[in-house]
Amino acid sequence: MRSNKDGITQAVLAVGVVIKESIYGYHVNRKVPFLKITMALPRLIAPAKRLLETGVVNVPSYGSRAYQPYESNIDFEIRFMVDTGIVGCSWIELPPKKYQVRSKDNAPSPISRCQIEVDVAWDSFISYPPEGEWAKVAPFRILSFDIECAGRKGIFPEPEKDPVIQIANMVIRQGEKDPFIRNVFTLNSCAPIVGSQVLSYMKENQMLEKWADFVREVDPDIITGYNIQNFDITYLINRAKTLNVKPFPFLGRVINRASVIKNSMIQSKQMGRRENKFINTEGRIQFDLLLVLLRDYKLRSYTLNAVSFHFLQEQKEDVQHSIITDLQNGNEQTRRRLAVYCLKDAMLPLRLLDKLMCIINYMEMARVTGVPLSYLLSRGQQIKVVSQLLRKAKEHDLVIPVHNPEQGDDFTGATVIEPVKGYYKDPIATLDFSSLYPSIMIAHNLCYTTLLPNQTRNQMNPDEFIKTPSDNYFVKKSVRKGILPEILENLLSARKRAKEDLKKETDPLRKKVLDGRQLALKISANSVYGFTGAQVGKLPCLEISQSVTAFGRMMIEKTKTLVEEKYNIANGYAQNAKVIYGDTDSVMVNFGIPFPPSGDHVEALKQVMELGKVAAEYVSGHFTSPIKLEFEKVYFPYLLINKKRYAGLYYTKPETHDKMDCKGIETVRRDNCPLVANLINMCLQKILIERDPSGAVEYAKQIISDLLCSRVDISQLVITKELTKTDDEYSAKQAHVELAHRMKKRDPGSAPNLGDRVPYVIIAASKGTAAYLKSEDPIFVLENNIPIDTQYYLENQISKPLLRIFEPILGEDKAKSCLLKGDHTRTKTVVMSKVGALAAFTKKRATCIGCKALLDNEKNPICKHCKPREPEFYQNEMVQLNALEEKFARLWTQCQRCQGSLHEDVLCTSRDCPIFYMRKKVQKDLADQEKVISRFGIPSW
DNA sequence: GTCTTATCCTAA
DNA sequence: TTAGTTAGGATAAGAC
């Protein structure tokens, strides 16, 4: 044995025989004996498994053969919770006399920071399912905090060198509205702040020590903040180590367990790849809001500022590292300024958690799937299915084999019906299969336990099993009901129940809980199919997943045929119905009810909705229960651009539309600039809602003209793309990758990392330069006044998306001639960049302020010919200067208002705020204009 | 020029 | 030690 720090004298505690059955495949002669091996510690399981697998162990009376391991790869927490029937975030009761309170009399010293310490046997407590009274949520204490560091100029703070100068904290009880503690720890003095406690320390190590004391005193159940896991907590622990603050890292509830930082790489198809730190804080859950948002929301930017604006319609100051240092080195007022900012950053995560109902939704997910809360942020989708599968398997004496993952061939997925592209002025009905994949699995009893191997099939009666469209075989429900269908039925019926309860419930908090629950149930049901198809997973079964998709393909085809064969003139209907599009579980039907000339949309919509409902019912009748086709909505009008790309007005009632629905087009994609997204959105609104295509064309022309004359704000031109691989893994050159690489050279600390989204703009360069050479950091562009390649934005960003939405309406030729030709496409001359890689090719020469002619004598403001009109030109420039000054003052005040004080300088440099870009641009223009004016000052001819 | 490939992001 | 699925459009780079 290599090490034995736990002092284990006996690794194997017990070996027994249990009668079980493998979950995988249908076996006629059900249960067989299994060896159940009990190990002393979780970490001894893997080596024991390896020994048995390789067949080197001689088990008395069973011999030394190679054993197939089962359930040796189950996480310890999951194992314990499954065995004791605990689900995440639920209540347990320690019955009287079953536990013993630890006190001075019977225990040498406490091992935890808990108020009460007891000993209880693992199987002598009661676990309550979270129903009724036990669905209540405990009043958790939640600590939200934010730190500020004093970095050096242009370098991202490093804990080995740069001090922590402030730590702001907010503590709230779950369910309450306001924090009951608001404070800020500051290094050096800080002027008082109304409503917050200010705790100032002259020494950094003292501040850190006191903060750790504070955390232990507050004793939070949940620790939150923004990017705390990968930044704040990590920084504090490393900083405390640098300063040798010994008691600092004991932040959890186990007294002698120090918090340690571990690096881990989390990668999934859903979330991409990202480097994460893991810090143990026993008894306290780290619930980093950034990680929640990355999982649950697709956003263009994930800075706290962008997120606050998106969800709370509120900006926050974004202060650069170098400025933070200046504020710290100022006086107690400038430090107060910083503290106010820091407090806000501690408060915002709490407000966002509340607004997005993260805690409740995550708790419900933990309850529904049975996993601990912390797993939901640190692990993937699979563990949730495994947890449910294990619980169900236990009921039926089934065991799950250990599967060695290997990549195999892909299987065929869903059908996308070839779209009949075009602009539909007639109402289009949409019919959907609700919960298609779960329904298929239930209807056809698809499960691990019902999968019929070929040999077994030969012994079976043909009416005892089915053959799926992908030629796989499963036994019927009458022979044996699968446990996946059972799990799914439970999830779907629980969801129905939650939705019904939600309707009846009046208490707002319970309403939130129920809504979170129905959402969790829906997501869980839908992820079971994905689990069976995950080849690099715990228990893939392609027979199930490919049967599911094959049934789905068959069903969508059949639906199309059924609708078109019934709803036609031959059968006495007014028109021939046509399925114009469909994807996976839906069909879009044009029943041919025309756009009424009278303008009475309501009547036409009523007719289509009625037809849709009847047709859905008719089609449902052709499929096995619980498969059901439902009428969902009508699109009117409907613009079908391509597969997975369309837009339309969404009606669920005949009177008014619910929303404008856009799928797959630029308005919902994050990899184009806001200019394009907003332009397309506006045009679609004008076309679909106002039904004014010519108005849309005019609008588009105006925007194009604005762009070419540089009247468009730079924030509108920022494109963002995710860095999905490391530098050397990329084989093709790309704009955002190249830029990230260049930024790493400028300042490695603040450059984008793996998994981050990289914002960039395309700058002007000589003709034919590849786009990946023209990408640049928007802030850098702004600070150095680098010209934008407006032609690129017209040709490579705007034009194609615009043509795609206008062509079906105007026709190909007309769309092109209207939009991309004419006066509005005239460009203002683009100047070459004065900095960066291309600066070498430009030579700066002064021009005449009057006529822009090159000057012989560069010291003069104007040329000889313009000389007589010098006062006039001077006047003009002064007018412009005044205009710019006024504009700058206006933007400045706006920013002051945002930061909440009209008496202080604006420090914000938020890359997500359009005002910031404008303010910065005007500031630059102002400086340039002042330079121009100054040229008048020294006439010398 | 055209065609293929890599990449991103979305639909369901 | 960990990772839900396939279909598919759009774009830019790079081969030819």
Tens-place pLDDT, residues A322-337: 789 999 999 999 999 9
Amino acid at residue number A6: D
Which candidate, A419, A421, A443, A462, places its Cα nearest to that of A554?
A443
Interatomic separation, CA of residue A730 and C1' of nucleotide B4, rounded (Å): 17
CA A575, CA A363: separation in Å to the nearest integer?
A: 51
A798 plus A713 within the same structural domain:
yes
C-alpha torsion sign, points A459, A461, A464, A470: positive
Q: Which residue, of A325, A356, A387, is where some domain finishes?
A: A356
Interatomic separation, CA of residue A664 and C1' of nucleotide B9, rounded (Å): 9
Instruction: Tell whether A561 is covered by a domain.
Output: yes
Q: Is the pLDDT of residue A934 over 90?
A: no
Range list of β-strands (E), A743-879: 757-762, 775-776
Q: Which bases of strand B sit closer than 7 A to a protein CB?
A: 5-12
Q: Which bases of strand C sit closer than 7 A to a protein CB?
A: 1-14
pLDDT mean over A852-862? 71
Q: Which residue has the higher pLDDT, A800 or A847?
A: A800
Q: What's the count of helices (H) and strands (E) in chain A, helices before strands? A: 26, 28
A851 plus A814 within the same structural domain:
no
Is the C-beta atom of A361 closer than 7 angstroms to strand B?
Answer: no
Q: Is the pLDDT of residue A831 over 70?
A: no
What percent of chain A lies above the pLDDT cut of 70?
A: 93
Interatomic separation, CA of residue A404 and C1' of nucleotide C1, rounded (Å): 14
Please tell me whether residue A384 adopts helix, strand or coil conformation: helix
Interatomic separation, CA of residue A772 and C1' of nucleotide B3, rounded (Å): 22
Q: Name the residue closest to the C1' of C11 by its CA.
A: A796
Q: Tell me, what's the pLDDT at A595?
A: 74
Q: Tell me, what's the pLDDT at A835?
A: 42
Q: Tell me, what's the pLDDT at A913?
A: 67
User: Can you give the residue range of the structural domain that contains A564?
Assistant: 406-479+538-660
**Cα pseudo-dihedral A435, A437, A441, A447, rounded to 10:** -130
Is the C-beta atom of A682 closer than 7 angstroms to strand B?
Answer: no
Is the C-beta atom of A728 closer than 7 angstroms to strand B?
Answer: no
Q: Is the pLDDT of residue A36 over 50?
A: yes
Q: Tell me, what's the pLDDT at A509?
A: 78
Residue A360's CB is within 10 A of a number of other CB atoms, namely 22
A647 plus A687 within the same structural domain:
no
Q: Name the residue closest to the C1' of C2 by its CA.
A: A266
pLDDT mean over A127-133? 95
Are A700 and A802 in contact by the 8 Å Cβ rule? The answer is yes
Interatomic separation, CA of residue A800 and C1' of nucleotide C10, rounded (Å): 10
Interatomic separation, CA of residue A669 and C1' of nucleotide B10, rounded (Å): 7
Interatomic separation, CA of residue A816 and C1' of nucleotide B12, rounded (Å): 33
Q: Tell me, what's the pLDDT at A450?
A: 98
Is the C-beta atom of A671 closer than 7 angstroms to strand B?
Answer: yes
Interatomic separation, CA of residue A89 and C1' of nucleotide C1, rounded (Å): 25
Q: What angle (nearest 5°) sits at the alpha carbon of residue A438, between those of residues A81 and A534?
A: 65
A206 plus A270 within the same structural domain:
yes
Are A38 and A15 in contact by the 8 Å Cβ rule? The answer is yes
Protein-nucleic contacts, chain A 642-661 to strand B, CB < 7 Å: 644
A261 plus A302 within the same structural domain:
yes
Are A886 and A896 in contact by the 8 Å Cβ rule? The answer is no
Confidence of residue A839 (pLDDT cuts 50, 70, 90): very low
Q: How many domains does chain A contain in total? A: 4
Confidence of residue A903 (pLDDT cuts 50, 70, 90): low
Q: Which nucleotide is nearest to A584 (CA to C1')?
A: B12
Q: Name the residue closest to the C1' of B9 by its CA.
A: A669
Interatomic separation, CA of residue A694 and C1' of nucleotide C12, rounded (Å): 32
Q: Is the pLDDT of residue A939 over 50?
A: no
Distance from the Cα of residue A895 to its chain's centroid: 29
pLDDT mean over A804-833? 82
DSSP 8-state assignment for residue A406: -
Are A299 and A293 in contact by the 8 Å Cβ rule? The answer is yes
**Strand duo A12-22 + A398-399: pairing:** parallel
Q: Tell me, what's the pLDDT at A901?
A: 62
Is the C-beta atom of A733 closer than 7 angstroms to strand B?
Answer: no
Q: Which nucleotide is nearest to A801 (CA to C1')?
A: C10
pLDDT mean over A444-460? 95
C-alpha torsion sign, points A541, A546, A551, A552: positive
Q: Which residue, of A825, A860, A887, is where some domain finishes?
A: A825
Q: Name the residue closest to the C1' of C5 by its CA.
A: A530
Most confident range, picked from A279-293, A500-514, A813-827: A279-293
CATH number of the domain that A641 lies in?
A: 3.90.1600.10
Q: Name the residue closest to the C1' of B12 by its CA.
A: A584
Q: Which nucleotide is nearest to A670 (CA to C1')?
A: B9
Is the C-beta atom of A553 closer than 7 angstroms to strand B?
Answer: no
Instruction: Tell whether A197 is covered by a domain.
Output: yes
Amino acid at residue number A775: S
Interatomic separation, CA of residue A549 and C1' of nucleotide C6, rounded (Å): 9
Q: Tell me, what's the pLDDT at A916?
A: 72
Instruction: Tell whether A841 is covered by a domain.
Output: no
Instruction: Tell whether A831 is covered by a domain.
Output: no
Is the C-beta atom of A555 closer than 7 angstroms to strand B?
Answer: no
A157 plus A285 within the same structural domain:
yes
Interatomic separation, CA of residue A35 and C1' of nucleotide C5, rounded (Å): 35
Q: Which nucleotide is nearest to A299 (CA to C1')?
A: B9
Is the C-beta atom of A414 closer than 7 angstroms to strand B?
Answer: yes
Are A73 and A350 in contact by the 8 Å Cβ rule? The answer is no
CA A423, CA A545: separation in Å to the nearest integer?
A: 36
Instruction: Tell whether A704 is covered by a domain.
Output: yes
Confidence of residue A823 (pLDDT cuts 50, 70, 90): confident
Is the C-beta atom of A584 closer than 7 angstroms to strand B?
Answer: yes
A860 plus A773 within the same structural domain:
no
Q: Tell me, what's the pLDDT at A887?
A: 66
Residue A888 burial (10 A CB sphere; 0-12, 13-18, 19+): middle
For the segment A670-694, what is each residue's pLDDT rounded down to a tens digit?
999 999 999 999 999 999 999 999 9
Task: Please give the mean pLDDT across all residues of chain A.
Answer: 91
DSSP 8-state assignment for residue A764: P
Confidence of residue A922 (pLDDT cuts 50, 70, 90): confident
Q: Name the residue closest to the C1' of B7 by its CA.
A: A732
Which candidate, A340, A344, A314, places its Cα nearest to that of A327?
A340
Q: Is the pLDDT of residue A612 over 60?
A: yes
Q: Which nucleotide is nearest to A733 (CA to C1')?
A: C13
Instruction: Please state the length of chain A.
Output: 941
Interatomic separation, CA of residue A383 and C1' of nucleotide C2, rounded (Å): 11
Q: Which nucleotide is nearest to A530 (CA to C1')?
A: C4
DSSP 8-state assignment for residue A193: B
CA A738, CA A770: separation in Å to the nearest integer?
A: 11
Please tell me whether residue A341 adopts helix, strand or coil conformation: helix
A621 plus A704 within the same structural domain:
no
Please tell me whether residue A145 adopts helix, strand or coil conformation: strand
Q: Tell me, what's the pLDDT at A836?
A: 40
Q: Tell me, what's the pLDDT at A599?
A: 73
For the segment A230-287, what is each residue's pLDDT rounded down to a tens digit?
999 999 999 999 999 999 999 999 999 999 999 988 877 777 888 899 999 999 999 9
Q: Is the pLDDT of residue A829 over 80?
A: no
Q: Tell me, what's the pLDDT at A848?
A: 76
Interatomic separation, CA of residue A543 and C1' of nucleotide C4, rounded (Å): 16
Interatomic separation, CA of residue A16 and C1' of nucleotide B10, rounded (Å): 52
Instruction: Tell whether A369 is covered by a domain.
Output: no
Q: Tell me, what's the pLDDT at A310?
A: 92
Interatomic separation, CA of residue A351 and C1' of nucleotide C2, rounded (Å): 32
Which residues lie closer than 8 Å to A207 by C-beta, 6 or more apart?
A164, A167, A185, A186, A187, A201
Q: Which nucleotide is nearest to A757 (CA to C1')?
A: B8
Amino acid at residue number A933: I
Q: Tell me, what's the pLDDT at A837?
A: 39
Q: Tell me, what's the pLDDT at A867?
A: 77
Is the C-beta atom of A196 closer than 7 angstroms to strand B?
Answer: no
A315 plus A442 within the same structural domain:
no
Range list of β-strands (E), A598-658: 629-642, 645-651
Q: Which nucleotide is nearest to A411 (CA to C1')?
A: C6
Interatomic separation, CA of residue A138 and C1' of nucleotide C6, rounded (Å): 41
Which ranges of A785-869 does DSSP label H, i.e. alpha helix?
A: 790-792, 799-810, 812-820
CATH number of the domain that A158 lies in?
A: 3.30.420.10
CA A721, CA A719: separation in Å to the nearest integer?
A: 7
Interatomic separation, CA of residue A863 and C1' of nucleotide C2, rounded (Å): 71
Instruction: Tell whether A666 is covered by a domain.
Output: no
Are A143 and A170 in contact by the 8 Å Cβ rule? The answer is yes
For the segment A618-644, what is each residue's pLDDT rounded down to a tens digit?
999 999 999 999 999 999 999 999 999
Q: Name the residue closest to the C1' of C6 by its CA.
A: A413
Q: Tell me, what's the pLDDT at A905?
A: 65
Interatomic separation, CA of residue A780 and C1' of nucleotide C6, rounded (Å): 40
Are A198 and A190 in contact by the 8 Å Cβ rule? The answer is yes
Interatomic separation, CA of residue A582 and C1' of nucleotide B4, rounded (Å): 29
Q: Tell me, what's the pLDDT at A840?
A: 37
A656 plus A695 within the same structural domain:
no
Confidence of residue A885 (pLDDT cuts 50, 70, 90): low
CA A166, CA A423: separation in Å to the nearest integer?
A: 58
Q: Tell me, what's the pLDDT at A264?
A: 86
Residue A42's CB is within 10 A of a number of other CB atoms, namely 13
Distance from the Cα of residue A35 to its chain's centroid: 44
Q: Which residue, of A338, A356, A374, is where some domain finishes?
A: A356
Distance from the Cα of residue A601 to its chain's centroid: 39
Residue A810 burial (10 A CB sphere; 0-12, 13-18, 19+): buried
Q: Which nucleotide is nearest to A731 (CA to C1')?
A: B6
Instruction: Tell whether A532 is covered by a domain.
Output: no
Q: Tell me, what's the pLDDT at A103?
A: 87
A286 plus A187 within the same structural domain:
yes
CATH number of the domain that A761 lies in?
A: 1.10.132.60
CA A464, CA A292: separation in Å to the nearest integer?
A: 47
CA A512, CA A510: separation in Å to the nearest integer?
A: 5
A650 plus A701 within the same structural domain:
no
Interatomic separation, CA of residue A648 and C1' of nucleotide B7, rounded (Å): 29
Is the C-beta atom of A586 closer than 7 angstroms to strand B?
Answer: yes
